[in-house]
Amino acid sequence: MRERPILFKGPLVRAILDGTKTQTRRLCKPDHFGGSEMPPDSAMARAIEFGGQKSPFGRPGDRLWVRETWQAWPVNVSEFDDSGPLSTESIRDRVPAHFEYQAGPTDSLGPWRPSIHMPRRASRIDLEITEVRVQRLQDITEEDARAECVDPMPGPVDVVDCGNGHGYFDPAPPARCVFEELWDSINGARAPWERNPWVWAITFKRIRP
């Protein structure tokens, strides 16, 4: 069993804590397959069929520890709840991680710090991988889109183009449409939905540290 870090944005961290997010999709990169370019589709299909792909995020049974925007606690602050509801909707609604430091006389909390710099000892969320797949991004199902913490759109849709030219009462799976927008908001600059890139589809469950 190996442990690896993984980054999540604030809303997705909240979804993991709520138990509504159990999957994540991460872009496949050439170096994941030992080269400077992505393998051709035929090679990817053979690797998937015969189980030849090796995820850089781990395999079932391995663990991921979540990196998120974090804040250090002074040594005189000892009580906090790392699993309860978060108090505000601002960027500071992440409950600070339990990483203590020596505070000055007028100091209360340390500065907010980027997720990439979170040390292992400050992480409050551990995940166990239960399944790893390689697939095209647009192969995501309605069920999988909901596992990405995406809620279906209620009622008629007149603002989301699901790819079939219709607006009102669009028959395309609504959760997939919402996931498309979520994906592009995060990855649109380098790998937009319309390119249908290869992704790692990782299913996980939260475990208590």
pLDDT tens per residue across all 209 residues of the chain: 899 999 998 888 889 988 999 999 999 999 998 888 898 988 888 878 777 778 999 999 999 999 988 876 655 444 444 443 332 222 333 444 444 334 444 445 667 788 898 888 878 899 999 999 999 999 999 999 999 988 766 555 445 555 555 544 555 558 898 899 999 999 999 999 999 999 999 999 999 75
Burial class of residue 110, CB neighbours in 10 A (0-12, 13-18, 19+) = middle
Domain's final residue, options 56, 88, 113: 113
**One domain for residues 185 and 157:** yes
If asked whether residues 77 and 153 sit together in one domain, one would say no
- Please give the residue range of the domain that contains residue 178: 3-66+125-207
Q: What is the pLDDT of residue 196?
A: 96
What span, in angstroms and rounded, lies between the C-alpha atoms of 140 and 9? 21
Residues 107 and 14 in one domain: no
Contact in structure between 196 and 137 (CB atoms under 8 Å) = yes
Question: Is residue 119 one of the residues assigned to a domain?
Answer: no
Q: What is the pLDDT of residue 89?
A: 29
Let me know the angle formed at the C-alpha of 182 by 38 and 27, rounded to the nearest 5 degrees.
15
Report yes or no on 101 lying in a domain. Answer: yes
Say whether both 80 and 176 belong to one domain. Answer: no
Number of domains in the chain: 2
Same domain, 14 and 105: no
100 and 21 housed in the same domain: no
pLDDT at residue number 122: 79
Residue 120: per-residue pLDDT: 86
First to last CA, the chain: 15
Q: Do 55 and 146 belong to one domain? A: yes
